[in-house]
């Protein structure tokens, strides 16, 4: 509903139709009340007229009273409504829930209340929730908890059976406000269990379903059906996005260091094996030289080298 320069503009066609009908009934009642004094005067004059004229005058005199009473007793129920009929302040049974159409009530002993049956939306403002960041590694001590902004959505309607229509009125005072508070509580409690990557990931549907189920369990006795409840959008803080961007870079640096360390260990192993092989070849050559020397074919230079080699070996053994 919008208001411009003192003129009220109604955007909802249903609300426009309701207001038109209420305006008609109200004008009918006012006209009937104004006509009652004239009807009384007409009734008095009818006493002095012949019988055939008096009957017509009496009928016209009581017509405003009948019209005024009928305006209170006749009720029109729209297709999206149910009519609750209270008798002396109570609802005796489910038969006092009237379906769409015209209904006759015994006013003033019976009072009525219209219940909207169509699906309705509750406007829930964005919620700021503190959750675990879920970041691992060096960034964890810097950003352990973060505050996210959740844009929620909530739809509900009254169940179609008559008992649920009665329960929606008699078992909760302000269903709209109670549903809003309950939904916000459940939303914050559920979101606090997850990390941001879960809330914005592929598990959002499962989270929304769990929120809907939790709220529905609480309002089951109110005759209300939760049709949609959950999260539309999640806004993350800038510091968390920066930390998320820093994590892959840190992981890449860590992996590079691992690769370098493995390469260095491989190089040392190759050098060690090569050195060990060279020592074995040198030992073998020395033994062959000793055999040739024993046969008288050795060379003084080789013998001198063999002596030096044996001294080094003996020196190493002494050091050990």
Strand arrangement of the beta sheet that strand 97-98 belongs to: 97-98, 81-87, 110-116
Task: Report the distance separating Cα 143 and Cα 129, nearest Å.
Answer: 15
Q: pLDDT confidence of 16, banded at 50, 70, 90?
A: very low
Handedness of CA 198, 203, 205, 209 (dihedral sign): negative
Q: What pLDDT, on the 0 to 100 scale, is given for residue 72? A: 78
Spell out the residues 6+ positions from residue 212 whose beta carbon is closer than 8 angstroms to its own.
Answer: 226, 228, 229, 230
Is the CB of residue 13 less than 8 Å from the CB of residue 80? no
**Structure confidence at residue 155 as a pLDDT band (50, 70, 90):** very high
User: Could you give the CA distance from residue 102 to residue 84 in angstroms, rounded to a whole number?
Assistant: 13
Q: How far is CA 264 from CA 49, 251, 256, 269, 317, in A?
A: 128, 20, 12, 9, 31
Q: Do the beta carbons of residue 128 and residue 147 sit within 8 Å?
A: yes
Please state, as a whole number, how many other Cβ atoms lie within 10 Å of the Cβ of residue 149.
13
DSSP 234-266: EE--HHHHHHHHHHHHHHHHHHHHHHHHHHHHH
Cα–Cα distance, 144 to 134 (Å, whole number): 7
Average pLDDT of the chain, as a whole number: 73
Determine the pLDDT at residue 244. 63
Tell me: pLDDT of 156 over 90. yes
Q: Which of 67-76, 148-157, 266-275 has the lowest mean pLDDT?
A: 266-275
Question: What is the band of 288 on the pLDDT scale with cuts at 50, 70, 90?
Answer: low
Most confident stretch, 107-111, 170-174, 310-314: 170-174
Cα–Cα distance measured from residue 100 to residue 266, given in angstroms and rounded to the nearest whole number: 85
pLDDT digits (tens, 9 = 90+) for 98-107: 888 888 888 8
- 117 vs 259, higher pLDDT: 117
Six-digit token string for 5: 């320069």
| Cα angle value 55/59/65 (rounded, 5°) | 155
Q: What is the pLDDT of residue 274?
A: 63
By CB neighbour count within 10 A (0-12 exposed, 13-18 middle, 19+ buried), where does 58 fall?
A: middle
- Residues 94-138 pLDDT 10s: 788 888 888 888 888 888 889 999 999 999 999 998 888 766 654
pLDDT over 60 at 278, yes or no: no
What integer pLDDT is reported at residue 211 of this predicted model? 93
């Amino acid at each position: 509903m919008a208001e411009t320069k003192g003129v009220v503009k109604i955007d909802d066609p249903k609300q426009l139709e309701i207001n038109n009908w209420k305006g008609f009934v109200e004008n009918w009642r006012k006209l009937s009340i104004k006509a009652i004094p004239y009807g009384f005067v007409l009734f008095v004059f009818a006493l002095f007229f012949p019988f055939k004229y008096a009957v017509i005058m009496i009928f016209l005199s009581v017509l405003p009273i009948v019209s005024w009473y009928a305006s209170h007793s006749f009720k029109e129920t729209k297709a999206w409504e149910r009519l609750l009929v209270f008798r002396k302040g109570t609802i005796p049974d489910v038969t006092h829930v009237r379906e769409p159409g015209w209904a006759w009530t015994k006013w003033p002993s019976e009072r009525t209340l219209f219940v909207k049956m169509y699906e309705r939306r509750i406007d829930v403002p964005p919620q700021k929730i503190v959750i675990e960041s879920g970041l691992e590694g060096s960034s964890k001590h810097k950003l352990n908890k973060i505050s996210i902004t959740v844009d929620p959505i909530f739809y509900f309607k009254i169940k179609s059976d008559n008992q649920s229509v009665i329960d929606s009125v008699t078992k909760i005072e302000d269903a709209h406000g109670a549903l809003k508070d309950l939904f916000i509580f459940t939303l914050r409690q559920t979101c606090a269990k997850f990390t941001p990557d879960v809330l914005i990931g592929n598990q959002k549907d499962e989270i929304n379903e769990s929120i809907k189920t939790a709220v529905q369990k609480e309002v089951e006795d109110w005759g209300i059906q939760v049709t949609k409840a959950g999260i539309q959008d999640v806004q993350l803080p800038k510091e968390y996005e920066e930390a998320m961007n820093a994590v892959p870079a840190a992981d890449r640096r860590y992996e590079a260091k691992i690769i370098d360390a493995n390469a260095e260990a491989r190089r040392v192993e190759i050098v060690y094996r090569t050195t060990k092989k060279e020592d074995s070849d040198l030992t073998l050559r020395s033994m062959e030289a000793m055999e040739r020397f024993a046969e008288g074919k050795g060379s003084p230079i080789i013998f001198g080298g063999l002596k030096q080699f044996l001294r080094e070996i003996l020196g190493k053994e002494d050091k050990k």
